[in-house]
Amino acid sequence: QELKGKTAFITGGASGIGLGIAKALLGEGMKVAIADIRDDHLEEAVAELNGGDDVLPLKLDVTDRDAYAKAADEAEAKFGKIHILVNNAGVAALGPVELASYGDWDWTLGVNLGGTINGIVTILPRILAHGEGGHIVSTASMSGMMPHGGAATYTTGKAAIVALMETMRSELEGRGVVCSAFCPGAVQSNIAEAGKTRPEKFADTGYAQTDKGRQSAGDFMHLFQTKEEVGQRVLQGILNDELFILTHAEFYEGVKDRAEAMIASVPRHLPENPEYKETFSVLFR
């Protein structure tokens, strides 16, 4: 699809992965609205993108539904129709599941999954209404595709985002809106600072100690992909209408093992009921 001259609305677009995506889409001649909770990130991102009138910085907390609608209005007022929505704003609190407090659960799920839902409720009807087609990319994570220990509040929201994109993809097929689950492996970003925007009402945490441990565990940034690399990968995923947009070859064996475990768990020794299969065929493919 032709992206030039169209508009993208990118949450968490002022840092890390979101900024990398903004760069890539701007490079394709798109106009980009970058919505972010942090003023300093917005200011730095505008300078880094250096896109003049094609970049609109918007201060937005994606969990604030009224503010979300106003931000979408602002983007439309400046650029016209929104064609691409990138639900990317995200935070992380990591540690053993038994230590996760309600504050840890509510904050991470509220931003990661709740923010994605708010993006869809706010912007999907606008995309469907203009009828020019569009694309919704939601940043999940490899942790949403291959959930691992020590990250329950994070993987739960990310797996839900993968399911949401799969659901919406089949539902919106044929109506001009393509949906993709973006599942990056590790990427250089500022996510370790996420706690800075944690609201007071979710301050209660069981992860104070594990967070401290994590921050002193060493710097592995040099092993991670850059925001430019993953931004280009998302651009390719959009251009190719990919359902799952993955970034790292290192996950091949794990993805294969998981897929094989799922296949092996289907009780094929049991007889199929042809009528059930026929009646609910939409469930089986």
Which residues are catalytically annotated? 154
**The binder of ligand NAI chosen from 3, 14, 22, 160 (CB under 6 A):** 14
**The binder of ligand NAI chosen from 146, 191, 243, 255 (CB under 6 A):** 191
Count of residues engaged in binding ligand NAI, rule: CB under 6 A:
33
Query: Which of the ranges 75-83, 167-175, 191-199, 255-263 carries the binding residues for ligand NAI, by CB under 6 A?
Result: 191-199
Compute the least distance from the CB of residue 201 to ligand NAI, in Å.
Answer: 13
Q: Do 8 and 22 form a contact (C-beta atoms < 8 A)?
A: yes
Compute the least distance from the CB of residue 76 to ligand NAI, in Å.
Answer: 19
Q: How far apart are CA 22 and CA 24, in angstroms?
A: 6
What are the φ/ψ torsions at residue 44 (nearest 5 degrees)? -65, -40
The binding track of 158-187 with respect to ligand NAI, each residue x by CB under 6 A or -, is --------------------------x-xx
**The binder of ligand NAI chosen from 7, 31, 61, 151 (CB under 6 A):** 61
Tally of CB atoms within 10 A around 169:
17
The binding track of 19-38 with respect to ligand NAI, each residue x by CB under 6 A or -, is -----------------xxx
Tally of CB atoms within 10 A around 181:
28
Compute the least distance from the CB of residue 282 to ligand NAI, in Å.
Answer: 30
**The binder of ligand NAI chosen from 33, 91, 93, 136 (CB under 6 A):** 91
What are the φ/ψ torsions at residue 198 (nearest 5 degrees)? -70, 125
Q: Strand 31-36: give its sheet, edge to edge.
A: 55-59, 31-36, 7-11, 84-87, 134-139, 177-183, 244-246
Is 3 a binding residue for ligand NAI by CB under 6 A? The answer is no
Give the DSSP H or E segment for 131.
none
Q: How far apart are CA 244 and CA 196, in angstroms?
A: 30
Per residue, what are the HEC states of 145-191?
HCCCCCEHHHHHHHHHHHHHHHHHHHHHCCCCEEEEEEECCCECCCH
Residues in the site for ligand NAI, rule: CB under 6 A? 11-12, 14-18, 36-38, 41, 60-63, 88-92, 111-112, 115, 139, 141, 184, 186-187, 189-191, 194, 197
